[in-house]
Every structure is written in structure tokens, then in C-alpha cells.
Chains A and B, each alone.
Chain A
Amino acid sequence: AQTVTQSQPEMSVQEAETVTLSCTYDTSESDYYLFWYKQPPSRQMILVIRQEAYKQQNATENRFSVNFQKAAKSFSLKISDSQLGDAAMYFCAYRGGSQGNLIFGKGTKLSVKP
């Protein structure tokens, strides 16, 4: 069975600085997707960024980028120029390529200090 592990329950970053959230996963599938979701206090689940396993290039969305290491099964999220609005719970998630459902890590709570 696939698993997703986030080893950092809490992280803190200074405003305008860069922070990296870690995620590792375990799978025997060759076709899959990886995601980072943001959950602010409003409880809404917001898709931050996604990565298709077959793509070698790391995904980037504005200040958010990933470091996808397929052989190591690692999928970290880098947030550059951190803003107060980035404070939230961040979840790493995996989805198998066929009929896969989302499998979530336990989350990392990110605090941003002014």
C-alpha cells in the first residue's frame, strides 16, 4: 500500500525568507501524481502545486516550487519570499495514476513570523 510521510509536524519561517517542507512517499506504481495542499484556518483545501511522476522537470507555481526526487521518493515544497498569508497547514498527497484516490500525509503546520 502507498504511504505518505511528512516528518515535520511544525515549521516556522521569518517573513520574506525561504522555507522547505519535506515529504517522502512509498509506492510500487510507476504512474502517479504528487500534490501539496494548503489548509488555512478557514479549513478550505487549496491545491498549491502538483507534479506528474513522468515529468523530470520540477513544478513551479509563482513562489512555490518542488524538489521531486523520484528515485529517492522525495517531494519537498519550497516557499520563497514567505508571506503572512502562507501560514497554514500543508499536506503532501499522492494519487495513483489509474483510479487512485488521494493519500495524505499527516501535515505540517507552518507559522510565518513578521
Chain B
Amino acid sequence: NAGVTQTPKFQVLKTGQSMTLQCAQDMNHEYMSWYRQDPGMGLRLIHYSVGAGITDQGEVPNGYNVSRSTTEDFPLRLLSAAPSQTSVYFCASRKEGYYGYTFGSGTRLTVV
């Protein structure tokens, strides 16, 4: 039981490049979310999903795309990276009817 697995742990991108942050969970959780953490800002919701095939925007969705083709995977795509997307990204999941979220270990992304 690996929990929530995020890859990569670190990434440096050049402005304009695209990439996908991977998130996978093996707990059969229905709810999955992506957050970004910036100094002094706490964690802010980017996108979330309540089940396979269903996604919705959070507080700061611009510049990011998501899809949920399976229960296990919830990738976050940066279409054209910008320096403002330099941040630490967390994926989290939760079982329906359960109170708490399980977090991945995060991805530190730097856009230069």
C-alpha cells in the first residue's frame, strides 16, 4: 500500500516548456486534488476530481489542465510553463465518506 505517489520530486523547466506532474493512489479513493504551496500563501486548490471522468476547477486553475481517466491516476499538466508557476505542488486523495485527505510528498517545480 504505497498511499499517494507523486513524481517527479524535483523539476526545473524553461519558460514555455510543457510537462505533466504525475499523481497515483492505490487506496481506491474517489476524491483527488491538486494544490500549490507558495511562501506566505498556504496551500491553494488548483483542480479536483470526485471520481473517474469528473474534474472541476479550484481557486487557481489558470495554466493547468487535468484529466481523470482512472480512479488511480490524476495527472496535472502545465501547457506552457511560466515563472509564476514556480511552486511546490501537492496531490491529495480522500475516500468518500471519510473525513481526511492523504497527501503525496510533493513536487518542487522551478520555472526559469
List chain A positions with a Cβ less than 8 A from chain B. 4, 6, 9, 33, 35, 43-45, 47, 50, 52, 91, 95, 99, 101-107
A45 contacts B42, C-beta separation under 8 Å: no
For chain B, what secondary structure do more than half of its interface residues adopt (helix, strand, loop), or is it mixed? strand
- CB nearest to B106 among chain A residues: A43
Supply 5 further A-B pairs (C-beta < 8 A) apart from A102-B43, A104-B35, A106-B42: A43-B106, A101-B48, A102-B92, A103-B45, A105-B42
Residues of A within 8 A of B43 (CB): 91, 102, 104
Distance A35 CA – B44 CA, assembled complex (angstroms): 15
B42 contacts A99, C-beta separation under 8 Å: no
B100 contacts A35, C-beta separation under 8 Å: yes
Q: With A43-B106, A106-B40, A106-B42 as known contacts, state yes or no: A101 contacts B99, CB within 8 Å.
A: no
- Per the CB 8 Å criterion, the residue count for chain B at the interface is 22
Per-position 1/0 for B13-54, Cβ under 8 A of A: 000000000000000000101010000111111001010000
B33 contacts A102, C-beta separation under 8 Å: yes
B41 contacts A106, C-beta separation under 8 Å: yes
